[in-house]
Structure 1
Amino acid sequence: MMRHHRHNNHTLFHTPKKIVPPKKRWRIGSILWIAFKRTCMVVGAMVLLSAALGTTLSVFAVNKMENPALPNEMVLYLPLKDAFVEHENTGGAFGLHEKALVLRDVVNALDRAAMDTRVKGFVMKLEGAVPSLAHNEELRTAIMRFRTSGKFAFIYAPAYESLGAYYLATAFDQIWLQPMGIVSVPGINMEMPYARTVLDKIGIEPQFFARKEYKNFFESLTSSEMSLETREVMTALASDISSHLFKEIAIARNMTDQEVRARIDKGLLTDDEALATGLIDRLDYSDNLSAEIKEQVTGNPDSDDKIFATMNIYIKQMKKEKKLTSDMAVSKKPKVALIYAAGNIIQRDEKGALAAAENIIPVIREAADDDKISVIVLRIDSPGGDPVAAEAIRRALVKAKENGKKIVVSMGAAAASGGYWIAADADYIYALPTTFTGSIGVTGGKVSLKSMWENIGIEWDRVQVGENAGLWSLNHPYSPSEAARMNAMMDNVYNKFIALVANGRGMTLEQTDKIAGGRVWTGAQAVDAGLVDALGGLDAALDYAAILAGVKNRSDLDVLMMQEPKTTFEKLVELLETQTMMSGFFHSNQALFETVAAGLRSVTSSGYEGFLVR
């Protein structure tokens, strides 16, 4: 059996000296750096854990609390805390907080409630948020349809603080205002800041090109006052929108146009003035409204019956019942695809942006390849964006048409510039009276910081290969050659833009150029200009799609939401990915942090070399 002998350094002739380990020296810089890194790791882990745990618990709590059985007699109640969104995936905060209501869900719920014998009425309370004018249009139309069923609709607010809020209120049977509240309806005021003077003072030179005279996106930087073209457009927009709002308010409140304008000219009305001039119906408190509704529904103002069902709960139950029905039987209704292009039009986005080309094009192709789908309804709510991305989306829609699909566009609050680019080839286009559309033009450029650097004593020098290599440098203005290339790009994009609009709308290039030039139109103006076929919201577009599909209206359709809402798990993954990105940023910049730490260590060691912590 072999034994393993323990070897050491002792020999007959040598006994090593006992080695005394040096005293450990701690430097303040190193301690702070290590503490910083470990603290970041601990905090990050705690954030991730709390997010996961909080989300899981909230999902269970929400599912348990928000799915109660609906009463046999009820009044729908909508406390409007946030503006509506076009699609669930456009909500912020990763969708983990309280969800903003989707406009189409609310409209569908009101249409369903009008036929639901359990629902006796609808009451809304404004709690700060006011939808956009375009969303107001669609919601008002739905509320008026609801009222035709003979059911009441009341609205209550501590104050009506804008013309948009009051415009929405006029769709209801009764407008209630809390005592001491105000009605602020000061008309329409459009303002733009102009920064050219201050930019000149600090040495920043804006260099932007536009096609054409009405494409004023960068005017706030290039000018010190409003141009004649911008003033012309903004005056026309304000006039058209105000005329529409005043007319609808006059009809709803049984007033003349002159009477409405007289009240608008006052701007701000006290509670008593609002009641005396007929802008509101009741000046009272919310508890009295609740008691009045209870008496109307149950016959007892002090009833303990829980008759109020929130819109959120009703929508959840409505979707649950629809899913059960669809699971039990295969729908024989014609199928129509509903696709959303909401937000800036960009080429790619990892978070699933609805108007990103890489996200929406596969959805369009999926609908185009489905033999059961005959019509694609494209809902656009976009101010524009990248022309390359817009062209890619338009191409996908053209291919869908070549595949036998009809394309119907519904414009939301905006379908301008790139938003109109993707709409131009549609078979039929709907817009709301207050939609902003058109803006058929292009703009772009840069700012030159050359004078600013000179003012603060910094000189930039360069070496370049290629006559226009400095095209995108912010440290030098455009050279004549570079400016020529920018102008060539502007002309190319503009000419192709008006060509595709002319082709899609059946106009000549000359006709298209007259209504283009970068000019923004309201939906109503766009109908007159030939850019839009009819006024109406998403419901009108779906009704038209139904006719194209061979049925009477949208109730006879099986509308397929092609972009499914993200699940709670998917939203949680997005949050975790963001945390990972933050961690990646930390690691990718570790060299920078190490440099800072080294500097800190050098400072502490040079100043406190003799100060050691043992």
Structure 2
Amino acid sequence: MPRRNFRQHRPFFSNAMPRAVVQPKMQWKILPILWLALKRMAMGLGFLVLLNLLVALIVMPAFLPKKAAAPSLPSEMVLFMKFEDGLRELPSPVSFADPFAGVSSATVRNIVNALDYAREDERVKGIIARMYAGNFELSKITEIRVALKRFRESGKFAHIYSSSYGEGGGGLSRYYLASAFDEIWMQPLGIVSIPGVGLEVPFARGALDKLGISPQFFQRKEYKTAYESLTNKAMSAPNREELGAIVNDIRFEMLEQIPADRGMSKAAFEKLVNKGLFTAPEAEEVGLITHADYGDVLLDNVAELITGERDADGLELIDLKDYGRVMEKKAHGLMVGGKAKVALVYAVGAIMPSGDGGGFGGDGIAAADEIAPAILKASKDEDVEVIVLRIDSPGGSPSASESILRAVEKAQERGKPVIVSMGATAASGGYWIAAYADKIYALPTTLTGSIGVVGGKFALGDLFGKLGVNWEKIHWGKNAGLWSANTPFSASEAERINAMLDNVYDNFIARVAKGRGMEPEAVDKIAGGRVWTGRRALEVG
């Protein structure tokens, strides 16, 4: 094809045409000019768009969060770690609204793996931890405590510092974590707050009645009390029994672990719990902490231990996250030639059909349309020998849970064992997706079970009446107002809701019976919607 000579085209602003040329009629002459103008404009806009894209490609990387480069490791080091924003199952997502947020915090698995690497690494001399405020779930703490104990068995030190352990509130969970370290440091004006465990549940039915809001929820069965604080004016006997058992199991775990770590008897520690609140000198005197002193003194002590000089500036401190990243990369390199693999699939958050949450928002969603395909993909991988399903979920949609369970079943049919690892919670739908697993592992304080179902709605008709709002209805279908917030359930609507709940409950029981090798009647006897701790769940099978 010959090259087009673009110079042959007349410039947009051209000279007048010679008189010898016959002028076309005005209405036809203006059309080519308009077309040419539009074409030039489009080309100009296209150039601007292209220019903007080029600028964005050049400039934006400077503003986007960068993946931190793995640092080189010295021949001798002390690791440090921070507990400041709770403990995560999954890395916090990088926010494009806040591109300066940096690298997300370490997960429980990252911390445990790094501690295990450090245990065998002769370059690592010890660990210093700094505890801030945060939500520390007992089961996640337990996993880190176990890893810390393995680390300390190597003879290396593990010290922790905090300004307080529970200032302004209960600090038992924070102290539970701190107790696994060999030395516990606290600021001289800090406090240790370990007043035990208290559960307080508000019951709002009286207030809702005054507002004209009618909560209409049905449960299967007596222990499925998720909405009881809205439907009742006081705690039911099954609810009190269930919560009392959970508190008692937490007490059992605290008395088993903390006194043994701090070298005191269970009776002595329970006496301290009954006292509850301790100043720094008091906490040091009774053995709850080892040092009532400042963080800089701790660093100087460690520096003297490592370098022989009380100068923290000469101390080589490496962030545990960075250390773990380097060691993970090294371990991955050693495994490249290997064939066998373990596929790890996470189910964290409320179980919903898709990541958009069906109107509940995308954060904290265990999306069935992501988890089920991940399990199926792993089941087709010839190099994968086992699939580990890590669950930290309070439940959610029965149909979404069924989709994930079906994927587990298909993976097993393809010869892939599925192992479930439970985090802080694997209850209701979280247990549904675990039911068929070849093995289920839980921690003593994991909350699981809740084999039941609850459903219903709020009827706001009386509230609207008090506000002077009148709703007019035009319906087709006897039960067209089934999900309307303006009216309570009619008799036929309530019958359909209860039939649905019975169907879900019966199928839940059947799947648990099949997966755990039990009779449905036996499952029903220990189910009833009851939440069990991991320790109790093991006892009841």
For the criterion TM > 0.5, the same-fold answer is: yes
Q: Name the % identity.
A: 47
Offset, 1:216: 0.7
1:8-66 CA-partner distances (Å, limit 9, x unpaired): xxxxxxxxxxxxxxxxxxxxxxxxxxxxxxxxxxxxxxxxx999967634545x63xx5
Distance 1:5 1:105, change over 3 A: closer
Quick check: 2:80–2:319 contact (8 Å CA) kept in 1? yes
Offset, 1:480: 0.3
For structure 1, list consecutive stretches of 5 or more residues without a partner in the other structure. 8-48, 531-614
Aligned to 1:31: none
Aligned to 1:37: none
1:515-538 CA-partner distances (Å, limit 9, x unpaired): 1111001000100111xxxxxxxx
Match of 1:330 among 325, 331, 337: 337
Whether 1:100 and 2:94 are equivalent positions in the alignment is no
| SS in structure 2 of the partner of residue 144 of structure 1 | helix
Aligned to 1:218: 227
Match of 2:148 among 143, 150, 153: 143
Q: Which has the higher contact order (CA 8 A, sep 6+)?
A: 1
Q: Distance in 2 between matches of 1:69 and 1:306?
A: 16
Specify the code of the residue in structure 2 equivalent to 1:151.
Answer: K
Offset, 1:483: 0.3
Aligned to 1:310: 319
1:403-427 CA-partner distances (Å, limit 9, x unpaired): 1111111100000000000001111
Specify the code of the residue in structure 1 equivalent to 2:112.
Answer: V
Aligned to 1:563: none
Whether 1:499 and 2:522 are equivalent positions in the alignment is no
Offset, 1:2: 4.0
Aligned to 2:158: 153
Once the two structures are superposed, the pairs formed by residues 182-197 of structure 1 within 5 Å of their partners are: 182-197=191-206
Aligned to 2:119: 114
Offset, 1:303: 6.0
Offset, 1:95: 8.8
Aligned to 1:474: 485
1:272-301 CA-partner distances (Å, limit 9, x unpaired): 110111111111111111011011111112
Q: Distance in 1 between matches of 2:98 and 2:180?
A: 30
Quick check: 1:123–1:153 contact (8 Å CA) kept in 2? yes
Whether 1:290 and 2:299 are equivalent positions in the alignment is yes
Specify the code of the residue in structure 2 equivalent to 1:76.
Answer: L
For structure 2, list consecutive stretches of 5 or more residues without a partner in the other structure. 1-19, 27-54, 357-361
Distance 1:382 1:55, change over 3 A: farther
Once the two structures are superposed, the pairs formed by residues 49-448 of structure 1 within 5 Å of their partners are: 56-57=62-63, 59-60=65-66, 63=68, 67-88=70-91, 96=99, 97-98=101-102, 99-161=104-166, 162-302=171-311, 304-326=313-335, 329-332=336-339, 334-349=340-355, 355-448=366-459
Quick check: 1:275–1:283 contact (8 Å CA) kept in 2? yes
Distance 1:91 1:415, change over 3 A: farther
1:514-563 CA-partner distances (Å, limit 9, x unpaired): 11111001000100111xxxxxxxxxxxxxxxxxxxxxxxxxxxxxxxxx
Whether 1:452 and 2:472 are equivalent positions in the alignment is no
Q: Distance in 1 between matches of 2:469 and 2:178?
A: 58
Quick check: 2:64–2:96 contact (8 Å CA) kept in 1? no
Q: Distance in 2 between matches of 1:346 and 1:492?
A: 19
Aligned to 1:578: none
Q: Distance in 2 between matches of 1:119 and 1:259?
A: 35
Q: Distance in 2 between matches of 1:222 and 1:209?
A: 10
Offset, 1:249: 0.6
1:370-399 CA-partner distances (Å, limit 9, x unpaired): 122221111100000000000010011011
Offset, 1:194: 1.5
| SS in structure 2 of the partner of residue 149 of structure 1 | coil
Offset, 1:3: 6.7
Q: Distance in 2 between matches of 1:479 and 1:5?
A: 79
| SS in structure 1 of the partner of residue 309 of structure 2 | coil
Q: Which moved more, 1:459-468 or 1:135-144?
A: 459-468
Distance 1:380 1:53, change over 3 A: farther
Aligned to 2:11: none
| SS in structure 2 of the partner of residue 233 of structure 1 | helix
1:551-586 CA-partner distances (Å, limit 9, x unpaired): xxxxxxxxxxxxxxxxxxxxxxxxxxxxxxxxxxxx
Q: Distance in 1 between matches of 2:262 and 2:388?
A: 34
Q: Distance in 1 between matches of 2:364 and 2:217?
A: 28
Specify the code of the residue in structure 1 equivalent to 2:522.
Answer: Q
Quick check: 2:432–2:512 contact (8 Å CA) kept in 1? yes
Q: Distance in 1 between matches of 2:235 and 2:133?
A: 32
1:66-112 CA-partner distances (Å, limit 9, x unpaired): 54322211010002222221122667788952412111111111100
Distance 1:283 1:93, change over 3 A: farther
| SS in structure 2 of the partner of residue 412 of structure 1 | strand
| SS in structure 1 of the partner of residue 230 of structure 2 | helix
| SS in structure 2 of the partner of residue 404 of structure 1 | coil
Q: Distance in 2 between matches of 1:52 and 1:383?
A: 44
Quick check: 1:412–1:435 contact (8 Å CA) kept in 2? yes
Q: Distance in 2 between matches of 1:331 and 1:264?
A: 51
Q: Distance in 2 between matches of 1:432 and 1:505?
A: 18
Distance 1:490 1:116, change over 3 A: same
Question: Under a length normalisation based on structure 2, what TM-score does the superposition of the two structures give?
Answer: 0.85
Q: Distance in 1 between matches of 2:465 and 2:403?
A: 43
Q: Distance in 2 between matches of 1:94 and 1:212?
A: 44
| SS in structure 1 of the partner of residue 79 of structure 2 | strand
| SS in structure 2 of the partner of residue 313 of structure 1 | helix
Distance 1:94 1:359, change over 3 A: farther
Quick check: 2:224–2:454 contact (8 Å CA) kept in 1? yes
Quick check: 1:250–1:260 contact (8 Å CA) kept in 2? yes
Specify the code of the residue in structure 2 equivalent to 1:330.
Answer: G
| SS in structure 2 of the partner of residue 287 of structure 1 | helix
Quick check: 2:353–2:367 contact (8 Å CA) kept in 1? yes
Distance 1:195 1:79, change over 3 A: same
Specify the code of the residue in structure 1 equivalent to 2:465.
Answer: E
Q: Distance in 2 between matches of 1:93 and 1:241?
A: 40
Q: Distance in 2 between matches of 1:246 and 1:319?
A: 35
Q: Distance in 2 between matches of 1:50 and 1:198?
A: 55
Offset, 1:315: 1.9
Q: Distance in 1 between matches of 2:71 and 2:105?
A: 20
Aligned to 1:27: none
Q: Distance in 2 between matches of 1:104 and 1:358?
A: 24
Question: Under a length normalisation based on structure 1, what TM-score does the superposition of the two structures give?
Answer: 0.75
Distance 1:360 1:460, change over 3 A: same
Offset, 1:265: 0.7
Q: Which moved more, 1:371-380 or 1:285-294?
A: 371-380
Q: Distance in 2 between matches of 1:91 and 1:249?
A: 36
Q: Distance in 2 between matches of 1:305 and 1:50?
A: 43
Distance 1:493 1:376, change over 3 A: same
| SS in structure 2 of the partner of residue 88 of structure 1 | coil
Quick check: 2:117–2:324 contact (8 Å CA) kept in 1? no
Q: Which moved more, 1:365-374 or 1:166-175?
A: 365-374
Quick check: 1:90–1:354 contact (8 Å CA) kept in 2? no
Offset, 1:347: 0.2
